Amino acid sequence: MKKDTRDICFKGERVGIISLGCSRNTVDSEKILSEARAKGARICAYEKASTVLVNTCAFTQDAKQESIGVILDLIEQKKMGHIKKIVVYGCLSERYPQELRQNLKEVDTFVGIADFKKDFDPSLRLTPRHLAYLKISEGCANFCSYCAIPKIKGKLVSRPKRSILEEVKRLESNGVRELVIIGQDITLYGLDRSSKPELVSLLESILKVTRIPWVRLLYLHPKRVTDELLDLMAGEKRIASYVDMPLQHINDRILKLMNRGITRKEILSVVKKIRMRLPEAALRTTFIVGFPSETEEEFNELCDFAQEIKFDKLGAFAYSREEGTKAYDLKKQIREITKKRRQDTLMSAQREISEGSLERKRGQKIDVIVDEDLTKAEGVYLGRTACDAPEVDGVVFLHSKKKLALGDIITAKISDSYEYDLVGEVAG
């Protein structure tokens, strides 16, 4: 889609945004809002806006349905006169431009993702002041057979290092205490312009030019989790003790069909290496169940592997059949009811693993970053450990007799635990 956002007039309008999907979309939404404000928009909550922007996700069928549902709700609001204009951005617009224009005529403008390729620092942020997502690349070069991202986002484009460092310094000066480095696969960073990845060099430069206390990495492809990267993570306390490494499966036949470029033996080797070099780190992964032709035996192999490794964090997703991907035409597509059963089985086992892991943290003293003041009068806060990424992992319900500021990193003594969350009190 070639629509240029320079054609859209926002001058004098009350503009708000609904940002759907992942943290990468959050960064794009910050750019959209920043550009709208530069064109004269008055930025507000979308509930109070006359012009509502929607940044859509089209990664899976569920994501597409959510995006369409939000747009339809806004169309009803427009018909009732509550809003005047709807602008739809992002992956859904990029993937289905003609279909959307034909079926959603009440939408004023559709904009794809091409505008996000340009290097543009957002002046507005949608995250709390102490937290920022830093996108270092766009697109992907992995070409997993189930994934439509390369078709939507295009080939890998690594952001210039100088631009990244300038933004990092600006974020630090604005009070950021946790920097979350994101991309479709950040281990690819630099491979579009060099013969070897440049992630470690970039991280070393970020750590050199700032004193931001927490730097988190999302996500790492297992075939490029190198000794050099693990050495840096082990030697630098400011890099969060957290390895987000989606594996997607463990059976060799399924991994080959997925075009993951890695074998079961290689996965076991990298997991062992991480556990040896980063013994305190939380290991997070995702798996896809119900991939075409996945047998019950192969699914059981995956469950046994998850039980053996006991990942600290695990997400199981039912395979989503996406047109335009190589997996779309594979034979022996799995029934939805079977995919759902397998997803529930794996997540049920993970709940028990997580509950047991968090129980062992009772009585420990752990650093926690303060994210939210839940009850100002009673001193109850919401925080996270370095082992928990924002929005996707667990939280710490934190009790404190003294006033805490958002972004404070304090030591908490863990007093209780649930399946995915902790309860603690400020130590000392």
Q: How many CA atoms lie within 13 A of 149 on its CB side?
A: 19
Using pLDDT thresholds of 50, 70 and 90, give the confidence band for residue 222: very high
> Is pLDDT at 254 greater than 60 in this prediction?
yes
At 252 the pLDDT is 98
Question: What is d(CA 95, CA 322) in angstroms, rounded to the nearest whole number?
Answer: 11
At 6 the pLDDT is 47
Strand, coil or helix: what is 174? coil
For the structural domain made of 365-426, what CATH number should be given?
A: 2.40.50.140
- Cβ burial, residue 213 (10 Å; 0-12/13-18/19+): middle
Strand, coil or helix: what is 178? strand
Q: What is the mean pLDDT of residues 17-21?
A: 93
> Is pLDDT at 2 greater than 70 in this prediction?
no
Strand, coil or helix: what is 348? helix
- The pTM of the full predicted model, rounded to 2 decimals, is 0.92
Question: What is d(CA 148, CA 219) in angstroms, rounded to the nearest whole number?
Answer: 17
Using pLDDT thresholds of 50, 70 and 90, give the confidence band for residue 17: very high
Closest among 133, 305, 124 to 219, alpha carbons compared: 133
Q: 339 is written with which tokens?
A: 């995919």
Q: 239 is written with which tokens?
A: 């890099």
Question: What is d(CA 38, CA 36) in angstroms, rounded to the nearest whole number?
Answer: 5
At 12 the pLDDT is 83
At 119 the pLDDT is 58
At 10 the pLDDT is 83
**Domain segments of the chain as ranges:** 5-116, 117-359, 365-426
At 3 the pLDDT is 47
Q: What is the DSSP letter of 408?
A: -
Non-local (6+) Cβ contacts of 180 within 8 A are 23, 131, 132, 133, 134, 216, 218, 389, 390
- Answer yes or no: same fold for 5-116 and 365-426: no
At 225 the pLDDT is 97
> Is pLDDT at 357 greater than 90 in this prediction?
yes
At 162 the pLDDT is 95
Q: Taking all residues of the chain, what is their mean pLDDT, rounded to a whole number?
A: 93
Per the listing, tokens 């790492």 go with: 220
Quick one: CA dihedral 16, 129, 284, 262, positive or negative?
A: positive
Q: What's the Rg (C-alpha) of the chain?
A: 22
- Looking at domain 5-116, its CATH superfamily turns out to be Methylthiotransferase, N-terminal domain (3.40.50.12160)
> Is pLDDT at 123 greater than 90 in this prediction?
no
- 263-276 residue pLDDT tens: 999 999 999 999 99
Q: 309 is written with which tokens?
A: 């490794």
Using pLDDT thresholds of 50, 70 and 90, give the confidence band for residue 121: low
Using pLDDT thresholds of 50, 70 and 90, give the confidence band for residue 427: confident
Cβ atoms 372, 406 nearer than 8 A: yes
CATH 3.80.30.20 fits 117-359, yes or no: yes
At 1 the pLDDT is 45
Per cent of the chain over pLDDT 90 is 84
At 379 the pLDDT is 87
Quick one: CA dihedral 299, 302, 306, 307, positive or negative?
A: positive
Question: What is d(CA 31, CA 125) in angstroms, rounded to the nearest whole number?
Answer: 9
At 8 the pLDDT is 74
- 293-330 residue pLDDT tens: 999 999 999 999 999 999 999 999 999 999 999 999 99
| Strand-pair partners of 412 | 366, 426
At 4 the pLDDT is 45
